[in-house]
Amino acid sequence: MVSDQKINLLGLERGAMEALFVELGSKAFHGRNVLKWIHKHGVSDFSLMTDLPKRLRARLEELAEVRVPEVVFDQPASDGTHKWVLELECGNRIESVYIPDGDRSTLCVSSQVGCSLDCSFCSTARQGFNRNLSAAEIIGQVWVAARGMNKPLTNVVLMGMGEPLANFDAVVSAMEIMQDDLTYMLSKYRVTVSTSGIVPAIYRLNEVSDVSLAVSLHAPNNALRDQLVPINRKYPLEELIPACREYVRGDKRRKVTWEYVMLDGVNDSIRHARELIRLLEGTPSKMNLIPFNPFPGTDYRCSPPERIEAFRQKLMKAGIISITRKTRGEDIDAACGQLVGKVRDRSRRELRLARAVPRGR
């Protein structure tokens, strides 16, 4: 198909866009204008980009396109949360979720089709891993949401399906695009990448980007974290914590946001809270306690609200700002860990799970 050979301008950041236009014998500022047309005005049709010379528009029609993801499902929840299911060219589906909250409106974006990390309490993990998203497919989710809602997006979190730092280059490019003045103008404090803790990638991110960092901690010691977040066996806490501390060093406004899913009888006792306080000593921290969202086939249960509150109070008393994340969009399966999309599991994980000995806790 001819269209497959066209360059998709949706995924180009400012530098790449300018370079392309210069290469076409045009001017860099036309590239900047196109960036603005696409992202600020939501225009994907070159014929509507009226400040471009006619000849340039004709040339763009031949060589390039603005290929946006196809929305197959677009549903508001009763609490104002909104979920989009997007179909990619390969037929796989990904999900993004819009969460309004007072003056804020946050979009939660996916970075991979499925996920390879196998965290034991996450439904995306059950889907296995299919492939990385391109920068265009990542920023495309922002494009779709910005068109679909009448309020501007104030925050983007890479907390949807997938491990963003395992798709490093595309994620960094997409985050670069969303921070541009010509596009969505999101400051570094309003774009957050969430990782399960791929330590070398955290150091690399620190070199090339200044977005905010969230880390899925979920356990205060290696023995428990090895079970819940298996990547911990490769990058244990004694490597993870210093990498995160290094990331926020030198900026007083910066804190690491820790995510901690509250699992009944697993990681939610006062003893765990005490251990956590010790672990995070000396690291500027903000704690997000996430009530566990169940999904079919899981044995885990969410901690009771009183226990979550006691845990939170313990951390607060030790000076760690802690909030309990409100569960949003449950009625449309849009809550944390419930994004499943439709993935062909290349890792055949379902099969391995079926054969595995049931997990003891």
CA distances from 289 to 36, 50, 192, 279, 346 (A): 38, 49, 17, 16, 32
* Nearest of 202, 65, 199 to residue 140 by alpha carbon: 65
Q: Is 205 in the site for ligand SAH (CB under 6 A)?
A: no
Q: Which residues contact 174 (CB under 8 A, 6 or more apart)?
A: 11, 135, 138, 139, 142
The piece of 82-90, 117-125, 182-190, 350-358 that touches ligand SAH (CB under 6 A) is 117-125
CA distances from 126 to 73, 117, 260 (A): 22, 10, 20
Select 210 or 330, whichever has its Cβ closest to ligand SAH: 330
Select 31 or 114, whichever has its Cβ closest to ligand SAH: 114
Buried b (16+ CB within 10 A) or exposed e, 7-36: bbbbbbbbebbbebbeeeebeeebbbbbbb
Q: Is 194 in the site for ligand SAH (CB under 6 A)?
A: yes
Q: Is 308 in the site for ligand SAH (CB under 6 A)?
A: no
Q: Which residue has the tokens 């993990």?
A: 125
Site for ligand SAH in 320-349 (CB under 6 A): 336-337
Backbone angles phi, psi at 292, to 5 degrees: -60, 130
Binding mask 273-292 for ligand SAH (x = CB under 6 A): -----------------x-x
* Nearest of 247, 176, 259 to residue 206 by alpha carbon: 247
Q: Is 159 in the site for ligand SAH (CB under 6 A)?
A: yes
Answer for the pair 320, 277: CB distance below 8 angstroms, yes or no: yes
Select 134 or 267, whichever has its Cβ closest to ligand SAH: 267
What tokens appear for 315 in the block? 């951390």
* Nearest of 317, 331, 329 to residue 276 by alpha carbon: 317
Q: Is 315 in the site for ligand SAH (CB under 6 A)?
A: no
DSSP letter string, 112-155: EEE-SS--TT-HHHHT-EEEEPPHHHHHHHHHHHHHH-SSPP-E
Q: Is 122 in the site for ligand SAH (CB under 6 A)?
A: yes
The piece of 30-38, 129-137, 188-196, 313-321 that touches ligand SAH (CB under 6 A) is 188-196
Interface with ligand SAH (CB under 6 A), residue from 118, 259, 315, 341: 259
95 is catalytic: yes
Q: Is 196 in the site for ligand SAH (CB under 6 A)?
A: yes
336 is catalytic: yes
Q: Select which of 95, 137, 176, 259 is catalytic.
A: 95
Interface with ligand SAH (CB under 6 A), residue from 81, 155, 195, 303: 195
Q: Is 293 in the site for ligand SAH (CB under 6 A)?
A: yes
Interface with ligand SAH (CB under 6 A), residue from 121, 129, 184, 311: 121
CA distances from 255 to 210, 249, 286 (A): 12, 9, 6
User: Residue 159 Cβ, how far from ligand SAH at the closest point, in Å?
Assistant: 4
Q: Is 163 in the site for ligand SAH (CB under 6 A)?
A: yes
CA distances from 312 to 60, 87, 324, 325, 326 (A): 55, 39, 8, 11, 14
Ranked by CB distance to ligand SAH, the top (closest) residue is: 337
Q: How many residues bind ligand SAH (CB under 6 A)?
A: 17
User: Residue 102 Cβ, how far from ligand SAH at the closest point, in Å?
Assistant: 22
**Known catalytic residues?**
95, 336
Residues that bind ligand SAH (CB under 6 A): 119, 121-123, 159, 163, 194-196, 216, 259, 261, 290, 292-293, 336-337
